[in-house]
């Protein structure tokens, strides 16, 4: 039994799907999952970037059916547990049952930070199926800490084993992460998790603050392969935590090799903080909006930054991708 002070979930095979246009192949997933398993990563999330059922015109079509990708990952994992993300309203209970039947053992049920009540059915079903279950409160920067605690308690009472603060936009500052994690740690009995995005170059700092305040589950994406500017870079996180004498149980050298030799060739371009990803964090907008906004900007001949700032002003959240085109169209008309 591997001793872990901090449990890391690798999200590149889900969150990273956004960065490559949901184009993962079975071969790519098997190679990445096998290497992660050999590096002793405990949990590997695999699904469309927007979770089960996300393959659509609105969110982006998957090159390969996600159930085939889940099955492919399960087939090569000897110790790692494969997890899936589900957003109620996008994914269904039937898709969750299918994923579990294929071997998924971790269910991460995600809602907007004010809508935890819609997760009840899915969290309870995941528990009935015997899955380890996470409540995933997205866009956590959009509400006061008191509201976050209220919503987290709902997920806890539905049966979630862990509740995550999810900085979907990469907009939280370290003192805001500290306040939120500390509040959840004081008022919940379940594990506290933290999911970061690097749009303001704060993913690592925020993840470390979360751990220092008592979060024991955190997410990483190898080679920063995630939406926007990516997530906390897994291989770097493992090395930093090792320097801090905090055990993850993950083999650092194998993670380095995986990042360099297997994941880097998958990336269409290196993950960095571009003006597009930076504006996501600045505007406080869902990280998966970037590619959609850039396409809309090209179509309507407007600046993608103006689209994202306006979406932030309107407090648009994940699941409202149709608003991106509407805003781009409105901006184009105003410029005439």
Which residue in the list 18, 48, 141, 292 is annotated as catalytic? 18
303 CB-near residues (< 8 Å, 6+ apart): 297
The arithmetic mean of pLDDT across residues 112-129, rounded, is 97
Cα separation, 82 vs 73, in Å, equals 7
268 to each of 21, 76, 263, 272, how far by Cα in Å? 10, 25, 10, 12
Tokens of 200: 């303001």
| Domains observed in the chain | 7-263 (3.20.20.70), 288-335 (1.10.8.60)
The arithmetic mean of pLDDT across residues 46-63, rounded, is 86
Residue 54 pLDDT level (bands cut at 50, 70, 90): confident
Q: Is the pLDDT of residue 37 over 80?
A: yes
Over residues 171-195, the pLDDT tens digits come to 999 999 999 999 999 999 999 999 9
Over residues 277-326, the pLDDT tens digits come to 899 999 999 877 888 899 999 999 999 999 999 999 998 876 678 899 99
| Residue 122 counted as an annotated binding residue | no
59-68, 86-95, 211-220, 285-294: least confidently modelled range = 285-294
Residue written as token pair 């015997």: 130
Tell me the β-bridge partners of 133: 107
CB 255 within 8 Å of CB 39: yes
238 to each of 5, 169, 177, 258, 307, how far by Cα in Å? 12, 23, 20, 13, 36
The H or E element containing residue 220 is strand 217-220
Q: Is the pLDDT of residue 57 over 80?
A: no
| Residue 141 counted as an annotated binding residue | no
Residue 146 pLDDT level (bands cut at 50, 70, 90): very high
For position 1, what pLDDT does the model report? 62
- Determine whether 18 is an active site residue: yes
Work out the percent of the chain whose per-residue pLDDT is above 90.
Answer: 86
Angle at 155 between CA 112 and CA 214, to 5 degrees: 95
| Residue 286 counted as an annotated binding residue | yes
> What is the model's pTM?
0.93
Residue 61 pLDDT level (bands cut at 50, 70, 90): confident
Tokens of 195: 């999911």
For position 60, what pLDDT does the model report? 76
CA dihedral 9, 125, 98, 103 (to 10 degrees): 40
| Residue 314 counted as an annotated binding residue | no
| Residue 62 counted as an annotated binding residue | no
Tokens of 1: 């039994």
For position 313, what pLDDT does the model report? 92
Cα separation, 231 vs 196, in Å, equals 6
CB 36 within 8 Å of CB 263: no
Q: What is the mean pLDDT of the chain?
A: 94
| Residue 195 counted as an annotated binding residue | yes
Residue 268 pLDDT level (bands cut at 50, 70, 90): confident
Cα separation, 188 vs 160, in Å, equals 11
The arithmetic mean of pLDDT across residues 32-60, rounded, is 91
């Amino acid at each position: 039994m591997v001793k872990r002070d901090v449990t890391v979930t690798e999200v590149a095979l889900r969150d990273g799907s956004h960065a490559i246009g949901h184009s993962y192949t079975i071969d790519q997933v098997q190679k990445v999952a096998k290497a992660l398993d050999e590096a002793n990563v405990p949990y590997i999330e695999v699904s469309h970037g927007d979770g089960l059922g996300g393959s659509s015109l609105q969110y982006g079509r998957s090159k390969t059916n996600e159930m085939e990708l889940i099955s492919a990952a399960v087939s090569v994992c000897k110790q790692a547990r494969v997890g899936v993300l589900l957003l109620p309203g996008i994914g269904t209970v039937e898709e969750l049952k299918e994923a579990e039947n294929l071997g998924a053992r971790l269910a991460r049920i995600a809602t907007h930070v004010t809508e935890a009540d819609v997760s009840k059915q899915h969290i309870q079903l995941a528990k009935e199926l015997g899955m380890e279950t996470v409540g995933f409160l997205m866009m956590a920067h959009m509400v006061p800490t008191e509201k976050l605690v209220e919503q987290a308690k709902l997920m806890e009472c539905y049966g979630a084993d862990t509740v995550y603060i999810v900085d979907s936009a990469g907009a939280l500052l370290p003192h805001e992460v500290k306040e939120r994690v500390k509040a959840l740690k004081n008022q919940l009995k379940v594990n506290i998790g933290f999911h970061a995005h690097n749009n303001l170059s704060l993913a690592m700092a925020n993840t470390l603050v979360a751990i220092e305040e008592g979060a024991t589950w955190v997410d990483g994406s190898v080679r920063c392969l995630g939406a926007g500017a990516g997530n906390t870079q897994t291989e770097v996180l493992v090395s930093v935590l090792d320097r801090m004498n905090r055990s993850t149980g993950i083999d650092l050298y194998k993670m380095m090799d995986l990042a360099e030799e297997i994941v880097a060739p998958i990336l269409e371009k290196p993950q960095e903080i571009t003006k597009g990803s930076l504006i996501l964090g600045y505007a406080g907008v869902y990280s998966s909006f970037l590619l959609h906004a850039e396409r809309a900007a090209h179509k309507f001949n407007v600046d993608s930054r103006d689209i994202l700032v306006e979406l932030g002003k309107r407090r648009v959240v994940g699941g409202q991708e149709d608003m991106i085109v509407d805003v781009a169209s409105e901006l184009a008309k105003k410029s005439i």
